[in-house]
Chain A
Amino acid sequence: AQTVTQSQPEMSVQEAETVTLSCTYDTSESDYYLFWYKQPPSRQMILVIRQEAYKQQNATENRFSVNFQKAAKSFSLKISDSQLGDAAMYFCAYRRAQDFGNEKLTFGTGTRLTIIP
């Protein structure tokens, strides 16, 4: 079974600085997708960024970028120029690429990010 591990329950960063959240996963599959979701105090789950395992290039979305190390099964999220609105729980998630129609997400336990003004 696939597992996702987030070893940092809490992180904090000064506003405008850069922070990196860690995620590791375990899978025997070679083709899969990885995601970072943000959950602000409103509890809404918001997709931040996704990465296809077959792509070597790291995904980037504005101030958010990932460092995807397939051999190490590592998928970290870097937030640049941190803003107060970035304060939230961040969840790393995994999904197999096979099994059309069976696309369950496996989530890590989350990292609570605090932004210090």
Chain B
Amino acid sequence: DSGVTQTPKHLITATGQRVTLRCSPRSGDLSVYWYQQSLDQGLQFLIQYYNGEERAKGNILERFSAQQFPDLHSELNLSSLELGDSALYFCASNAGGGVGEQYFGPGTRLTVT
């Protein structure tokens, strides 16, 4: 158990809908990262938050947005969903700085039908 929690574990929704994925980082960690893993592919970095502020952005679609709240949990919002958005979405956290070891949550599997 990495100490990072993600909810829900599975999500099935229809095209055009909007969903919210939630992540709680390890206790004390200030940085939260979101990654997308499409079928049998590597993980693609989406976005990072550090202590409530956006710190880095990857190839995140405009239909996707995220935020980190004062209690440090983070939410990833996906809207106008398309079939191609079906993937595993991982959240990771670390303290920020240092060696950069990231601890991953169990992921949310999103299926868009």
B74 within 8 A of A: no
Interface size class of A (residues with CB under 8 A): 20 to 34
B84 within 8 A of A: no
B side interface size, CB within 8 A: 30
- Name the A residues within 8 Å of B100 (CB-CB): 33, 95, 97, 103, 105
Q: Are A110 and B42 in contact (CB under 8 A)?
A: yes
B110 within 8 A of A: no
Residue positions of A touching B, CB distance < 8 A: 4, 33, 35, 37, 42-47, 50, 52, 91, 95, 97, 99-110
The one of B2, B56, B99 in contact with A104, judged by C-beta atoms closer than 8 angstroms, is B56
**Which of B19-27, B61-69, B88-96 is found at the contact surface with chain A?**
B88-96
Interface of A is mostly: loop
CB distance from A11 to the nearest CB of B (A): 15
Decide: A52 near B99, CB < 8 A? Known: A43-B106, A104-B58, A105-B43: yes
CB distance from A31 to the nearest CB of B (A): 11
